[in-house]
Amino acid sequence: MVYDPDDPSGFSIMSKDDSTVSRMLAYWDRRARGYNLLTRLQLHDTKHYEHIIEALVPLGHKASICDMGTACGFMALLAARMGHTVVGIDRLPKMIYYARKNAQELGISVDFRVGNVSSLRIPKNSFDLIIARSIIWCLEDPVGTLRYWMSLLKPGGHILIIDGNYYLDNFEKDYRAKHQLDEVKRSEETGMHGKTNMDSVDFAEIREIAMDLPACSMRRPGWDTSVLLGLGMDNIFVNLEDKTPYTVSTASGYMILPGTFVVTARKPFEKTEGPEHRIYDESLQTLDYEKDTMEESAARFKALADANRVAILQILLKGSKNVKDLSEILGCSVSLTSHNLKLLSSAGLITSVKVGKEVFYGITDSKTLFEILYYMKRGFKPDSPEKG
């Protein structure tokens, strides 16, 4: 698999060898017992991934989550432990066996299923979040699968990709040099995968299979970003996860070669045809001018009467933040930011949750708030009740 000038964005990449999938499944079937040991070890420290999920799911909201390519259940188990409703899908019965066993032993409820992540009997718009950890590089049709996953997301739902440039050294000289350095360091043998390889599976086998795994020939996460934009996703964010970044010398100076990374993206809210200013499928509820409703509305208008508070809401629509992060983004003092958060919280626009020693703030109802900000931007004002 090499760069195709007729498909520069890699939108049409697919496996070419019919035996690739069966060979890969056989490989991971042999790796299952050792991979389960790796999973059990990783479950002792899940805070990093919990924070990532917390940034994508509104605080206090019990989300519907699907962990695609769940393997022995790592991401599914930690998401369920956070209080979410989780489905875990994997093509290998042995992996699902270990995932169910882990859930039972840990007392965690997850709906683990054997299935092909590219074709499931699941209704559209079913999930608030789809997790894809170390699975896209294994797919025979990664773009088609991403398109399918997007159909399973609810409007406003997110996809969380945790992956890496695995075996890109098969195709690119810069990554080949990095792999040669890793071989000198014996990284494959001394790393967690090597230490948990209980059945002495030959890692060279998956390296050879990767020659026909489409995403393994793409420079990522640039490729992921391009595909997600092409599919119509928005609010795309990328973070590199490498503990020790690998750099190469270029004509423009030293550049980092991404290894492992996290990409998040949101499925846009659906727009509908109809009267002007109607942007969601569900019609807006008729305004009620009873006293309690008026007081609630007045509190919201007061909270929205400050540019900094509106800016805070726009930031929190993209994910939860603590006071320090918000103050740095806004360029305001921590005390002023705290004051504005208190007013927004009193108006019922935001909520908070304590994670360790940190307090994170998030949107109470992202859909309603999105509508309010939309109307503010458009300058649309609902008709006022007639004066007697």
pLDDT in tens, 187-218: 887 888 999 999 999 999 999 999 999 999 99
CB 193 within 8 A of CB 38: yes
* pLDDT for the residue numbered 7: 82
* pLDDT for the residue numbered 279: 40
Burial class (CB in 10 A: 0-12, 13-18, 19+), 228: buried
Domain 20-266, architecture per CATH:
3-Layer(aba) Sandwich (3.40)
pLDDT in tens, 31-62: 999 999 999 999 999 999 999 998 898 777 89
* pLDDT for the residue numbered 301: 76
| pLDDT (average), residues 156-162 | 96
CB 237 within 8 A of CB 143: no
60 Cβ contact partners less than 8 Å away, ≥ 6 residues apart = 351, 353, 362, 364
Instruction: Return the domain boundaries, the chain.
Output: 20-266, 291-378
- Per DSSP, 27 falls in state H
* pLDDT for the residue numbered 282: 40
* pLDDT for the residue numbered 363: 83
* pLDDT for the residue numbered 129: 97
Cα–Cα dist 359/60, whole Å: 13
- 125-139, 205-219, 369-383: least confident range: 369-383
Closest alpha carbon to 369 in 325, 292, 312: 312
* pLDDT for the residue numbered 288: 40
Fold agreement between 20-266 and 291-378: no
pLDDT at 222 over 50: yes
- 98-102, 143-147, 231-235, 371-375: least confident range: 371-375
For residue 353, what pLDDT band results from cuts at 50, 70 and 90? confident
* pLDDT for the residue numbered 296: 64
At the topology level of CATH, where does 291-378 sit? Arc Repressor Mutant, subunit A (1.10.10)
Question: Mean pLDDT in the chain?
Answer: 86
Q: What percent of the chain lies above the pLDDT cut of 70?
A: 86
Determine the number of helices (DSSP H) and then strands (DSSP E) in the chain. 15, 12
| pLDDT (average), residues 252-264 | 94
Closest alpha carbon to 171 in 359, 3, 370, 375: 3
Q: What percent of the chain lies above the pLDDT cut of 90?
A: 61
pLDDT at 139 over 80: yes
In what helix (H) or strand (E) does residue 321 lie, and over which residues does it extend? strand 321-322
Neighbouring CB atoms inside 10 A of 317's CB total: 17
* pLDDT for the residue numbered 78: 97
pLDDT at 383 over 70: no
**The pairing of beta strand 127-133 with beta strand 64-68:** parallel
pTM of the model: 0.73
* Residue 363, strand partner residues: 350
In what helix (H) or strand (E) does residue 301 lie, and over which residues does it extend? helix 291-303
For residue 306, what pLDDT band results from cuts at 50, 70 and 90? confident
pLDDT at 276 over 60: no
| pLDDT (average), residues 103-119 | 97
pLDDT in tens, 338-349: 998 988 888 888
| pLDDT (average), residues 89-100 | 98
For residue 289, what pLDDT band results from cuts at 50, 70 and 90? very low
* Residue 153, strand partner residues: 127
Residue with tokens 């109809």: 274
pLDDT at 277 over 80: no
Cα–Cα dist 180/205, whole Å: 17
* pLDDT for the residue numbered 232: 95
Burial class (CB in 10 A: 0-12, 13-18, 19+), 155: middle
